[in-house]
Amino acid sequence: MKKEYPDVGDFVIGTVETVKDYGAFVNLDEYPNKKGFIHVSEIASGWIKYIRDYVREGQKVVCQVIDINKEKGHIDLSLKRVNEHQRREKVQEWKNEQRAKKLFDIVKERSKLSINFDEIAENLESKYGTLFSAFENAAMDEDEFEKENKGPWVKIFIDVAKENIEPPRVKISGFVELTSNDRNGIETIKKALLTIHKPEDGVSVQYTGAPRYRIVVESTDYKTAEEKLKEAADTAVEYIKKHGGNGEFFRKVE
d(CA 32, CA 4) in angstroms, rounded, equals 8
Name the pLDDT band for 55 (thresholds 50, 70, 90). Answer: very high
pLDDT in tens, 93-118: 999 999 999 999 999 999 988 899 99
Average pLDDT over residues 34-54: 95
Cβ distance 185 to 239 under 8 Å? no
Res 121 pLDDT > 80: yes
Q: Are residues 236 and 180 in the same domain?
A: yes
d(CA 201, CA 231) in angstroms, rounded, equals 12
Could you tell me if residue 132 is inside a domain?
yes
d(CA 124, CA 147) in angstroms, rounded, equals 14
pLDDT in tens, 6-23: 999 999 999 999 999 999
pLDDT in tens, 135-177: 999 998 899 999 999 999 999 999 999 999 987 778 899 999 9
d(CA 176, CA 195) in angstroms, rounded, equals 13
Parent domain of 202: 170-250
The full 3-state SS of 60-91, as one line of letters, equals EEEEEEEEEECCCCEEEEECCCCCHHHHHHHH
Task: Identify the CATH number of the domain in which residue 34 sits.
Answer: 2.40.50.140
Which residues is 68 bridged to in the sheet?
75
Q: Are residues 135 and 176 in the same domain?
A: no
Instruction: List the one residue out of 151, 156, 149, 144 whose CA is nearest residue 125.
Output: 149
- Is the C-alpha dihedral spanning 48, 14, 130, 9 positive or negative? positive
What pLDDT, on a 0 to 100 scale, did the predictor assign at position 200?
87
Mean pLDDT estimate for the chain: 92
> Could you give the C-alpha distances from 211 to 7, 49, 193, 248, in angstroms and in order?
56, 64, 12, 10
Q: Are residues 177 and 237 in the same domain?
A: yes
What pLDDT, on a 0 to 100 scale, did the predictor assign at position 2?
62
Could you tell me if residue 220 is inside a domain?
yes
Cβ distance 177 to 212 under 8 Å? yes
Q: Which of left, alpha, beta for 216 (phi over 0: left; psi -120 to 50: alpha)? A: beta
Query: By CB neighbour count within 10 A (0-12 exposed, 13-18 middle, 19+ buried), where does 219 fall?
Result: buried
Cβ distance 160 to 106 under 8 Å? yes
Q: Are residues 180 and 241 in the same domain?
A: yes
Cβ distance 124 to 160 under 8 Å? no
Res 1 pLDDT > 70: no
Cβ distance 134 to 17 under 8 Å? no
What pLDDT, on a 0 to 100 scale, did the predictor assign at position 253?
53
Percentage of the chain beyond pLDDT 70 is: 98
d(CA 157, CA 242) in angstroms, rounded, equals 49
What pLDDT, on a 0 to 100 scale, did the predictor assign at position 254?
44
Q: Is 14 helix (H, G, I), strand (E, B) or coil?
A: strand
Q: Are residues 71 and 91 in the same domain?
A: no
Last residue of a domain, one of 23, 50, 80: 80
Work out how many domains the chain is built from and give that number: 3
What pLDDT, on a 0 to 100 scale, did the predictor assign at position 148?
95
Q: Are residues 105 and 73 in the same domain?
A: no
pLDDT in tens, 228-245: 999 999 999 999 999 999
Task: Identify the CATH number of the domain in which residue 221 sits.
Answer: 3.30.70.1130
